[in-house]
């Protein structure tokens, strides 16, 4: 039988609509601040949705040499920034680490859309021209979904496992679970994991509008993302990145690393139901959560908090809570939907919400679901949904749910670290 190693979190990084550092991000989450505002990246005058949760005040030159920036799509720039923060936060100096030690350090980085902004810009230039294919030599490496993982590896000379995960909005939770499995089975000692997204673009907003997925509450952007609320009308698009340093426990202890939390379980499953809709009974959510509990070796009544995927869509929110009710029964697990503040970061959502789960454990604080005035009557009764304001509560285990178009589900469980 394979002996599973323990895996801890030793570094965090964040580029988000609520701040470009972990501290700023967490403070705004606890305060219940919304990151939504009118969009500035393109002219939205003819779009049904004119707002979203953009990253604000991001300066790529804080992390990347000016001459290098043109090589990277914005989603990769966010990945570089968040991973640099996390590596620094973990106290890791890869440049000073012997090369053979870096053979055991890898990167798994996720994105649902990759360089969609670059792709749009290049096609626009092509169609506005005379038909001559004058594409940038950087088009392909800027566009492909795996390039952020590759760039993080190249920048830090990390020679361990390196790839991208794509499971739509479950992508970065999947990346974190895969990194967890890589370490605990002895295939790496340290993994940089997370996800980034920069998909606030005309085709993305237009496409989600056409799918009837986005809120059109243009007169109230800050109140538009309202998971579980009776009057919700769709999700609010977000962008940014979240990065985690996962490390084998003994390795972390030997170098005297600070430890934020322990990752103890991950479960992945599928709805096997619909291209974009979740199973009405929450089957995929139920399977992902129960697999994560089994993997962690704990029972449902040991979980203190669930960070729900809840995007503020009519069917998705209810189906997830049906799955939660089936898993947890009458156990009063606290539930909140932080997308009410961040918007939906698509492929980066799982990583950013993992940061929230880890910081919740650190501070014994459960963030609230904001903008909820009246619960949807289809939500199961008896659920402990935290709304209005964050609450102080001792926490030991927290569970993070993420689901994606195509029926993908991923649930991870973090535990308060005890030596």
For 7-254, the fitting CATH number among 3.40.50.10330, 3.90.1260.10, 3.40.1390.30, 3.40.47.10 is: 3.40.47.10
Smallest Cα–Cα separation from 178: which of 241, 84, 246? 246
Q: How confident is the model at residue 278 (pLDDT cuts 50, 70, 90)?
A: confident
Task: Flag whether pLDDT at 1 surpasses 50.
Answer: no
Task: Flag whether pLDDT at 250 surpasses 90.
Answer: yes
Residue 209 exposed, middle or buried by CB count within 10 Å (0-12, 13-18, 19+): middle
Residues 187-222 have pLDDT tens digits of 999 999 999 999 999 999 999 999 999 999 999 999
Name beta bridge partners: 47: none
Q: Would you give the distance in Å from CA 164 to the centre of its chain?
A: 14
3-state class (DSSP) for residue 313: coil
Q: Would you tell me how many other CB atoms lie within 10 Å of the CB of residue 88? A: 13
DSSP states along 343-385: -B-GGGHHHHHHHHHHHHHHHTEEPPBPS-SSB-TTSPTT-EE
Domain 7-254 identical in fold to domain 266-415: yes
Residues 319-347 have pLDDT tens digits of 999 999 999 999 999 999 999 999 999 99
Contact between residue 173 and residue 179 where contact means Cβ atoms under 8 Å apart: no
What is the Cα–Cα distance from 109 to 416, expressed in whole angstroms? 24
What is the Cα–Cα distance from 408 to 9, expressed in whole angstroms? 25
What is the Cα–Cα distance from 255 to 275, expressed in whole angstroms? 46
Active-site residue, from 29, 90, 169, 398? 169
Q: What is the pLDDT of residue 296?
A: 98
Round the average pLDDT of the chain to a whole number and report it. Answer: 96
Spatial neighbors of 189 by CB under 8 A, at least 6 apart, are 101, 104, 105, 183, 247, 248, 251
**Unique residue bearing structure tokens 């005035």:** 373
Residues 396-408 have pLDDT tens digits of 999 999 999 999 9
Three-state SS across 49-78?
A: CCEEECCCCCCHHHCCCHHHHHHCCHHHHH
Q: What is the pLDDT of residue 131?
A: 84
What does each C-alpha distance from 187 to 89, 151, 157, 160, 323 come to in angstroms? 23, 21, 17, 8, 33
Domain positions in the chain are 7-254, 266-415
Choose the weakest-confidence range: 74-78, 269-273, 342-346: 269-273
Task: Flag whether pLDDT at 25 surpasses 60.
Answer: yes
Q: What is the pLDDT of residue 130?
A: 83
Residues 107-162 have pLDDT tens digits of 999 999 999 999 999 999 888 888 888 899 999 999 999 999 999 999 999 999 99
Structure tokens that stand for 89 in this block: 């936060």
**Mean pLDDT across 42-56:** 98
Core vs surface per residue 386-408: b (16+ CB within 10 A) or e: bbeebeeeebebbbbbbbbbbbb
CA angle (207, 177, 245) in 5-degree steps:
100
What does each C-alpha distance from 29 to 26, 306, 356, 367 come to in angstroms? 5, 16, 8, 7
**Mean pLDDT across 231-235:** 97
- Does 3.40.47.10 match the CATH number of domain 266-415? yes
Contact between residue 337 and residue 195 where contact means Cβ atoms under 8 Å apart: no
Q: Does residue 357 have an active-site annotation?
A: no
| Residues of the chain above pLDDT 70, percent | 100
**Mean pLDDT across 37-65:** 98
DSSP states along 95-149: GGS-HHHHTTEEEEEE-SSSSHHHHHHHHHHHHHTTS-----TTHHHHHSTTHHH
Q: What is the pLDDT of residue 2?
A: 61
3-state class (DSSP) for residue 22: helix
Smallest Cα–Cα separation from 305: which of 157, 147, 412? 412
Q: Would you tell me how many other CB atoms lie within 10 Å of the CB of residue 113? A: 25
Task: Flag whether pLDDT at 44 surpasses 60.
Answer: yes
């Amino acid at each position: 039988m394979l002996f599973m190693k323990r895996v801890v979190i030793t570094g965090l990084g964040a580029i988000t609509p609520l701040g470009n550092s972990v501290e700023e991000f967490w403070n705004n989450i606890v305060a219940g601040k919304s990151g939504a505002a009118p969009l500035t990246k393109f002219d939205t005058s003819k779009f049904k949705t004119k707002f979203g949760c953009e990253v604000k005040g991001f300066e790529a030159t804080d992390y990347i040499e000016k001459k290098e920036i043109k090589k990277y799509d914005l989603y990769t720039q966010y990945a570089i920034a968040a991973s640099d923060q996390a590596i620094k936060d973990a106290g890791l100096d890869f440049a000073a680490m012997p090369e053979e030690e870096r053979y055991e350090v890898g990167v798994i980085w996720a994105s649902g859309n990759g360089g969609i902004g670059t792709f749009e810009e290049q096609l626009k230039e092509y169609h506005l021209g005379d038909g001559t294919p004058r594409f940038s030599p950087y088009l392909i490496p800027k566009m492909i979904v795996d390039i952020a993982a590759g760039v993080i590896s190249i920048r830090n000379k990390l020679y361990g496992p390196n790839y991208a995960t794509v499971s739509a909005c479950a992508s970065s939770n999947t990346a974190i679970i895969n990194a967890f499995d890589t370490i605990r089975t002895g295939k790496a000692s340290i993994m940089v994991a997370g996800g980034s997204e920069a998909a606030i673009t005309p085709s993305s907003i237009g496409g989600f509008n056409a799918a009837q997925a986005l809120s059109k509450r243009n007169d109230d952007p800050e109140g538009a993302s309202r998971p579980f609320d009776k009057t919700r009308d769709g999700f609010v698009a977000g962008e940014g990145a979240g990065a985690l340093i996962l490390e084998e426990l003994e390795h972390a202890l030997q170098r005297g690393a600070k430890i934020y939390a322990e990752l103890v379980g991950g479960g992945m499953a599928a709805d096997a139901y619909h291209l974009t809709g979740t199973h009405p009974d929450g089957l995929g959510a139920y399977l992902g959560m129960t697999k994560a509990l089994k993997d962690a070796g704990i029972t449902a009544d040991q979980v203190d908090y669930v960070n729900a995927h809840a995007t503020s869509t009519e069917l998705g929110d209810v189906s997830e809570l049906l799955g939660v009710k089936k898993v947890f029964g009458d156990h009063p697990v606290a539930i909140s939907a932080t997308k009410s503040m961040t918007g939906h970061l698509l492929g980066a959502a799982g990583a950013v919400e993992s940061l929230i789960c880890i910081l919740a454990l650190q501070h014994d604080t459960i963030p609230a679901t904001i903008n909820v005035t009246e619960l949807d009557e289809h939500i199961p009764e008896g659920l402990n949904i935290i709304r209005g304001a964050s609450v102080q509560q001792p926490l030991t285990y927290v569970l993070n749910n993420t689901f994606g178009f195509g029926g993908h589900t991923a649930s991870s469980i973090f535990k308060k670290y005890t030596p």
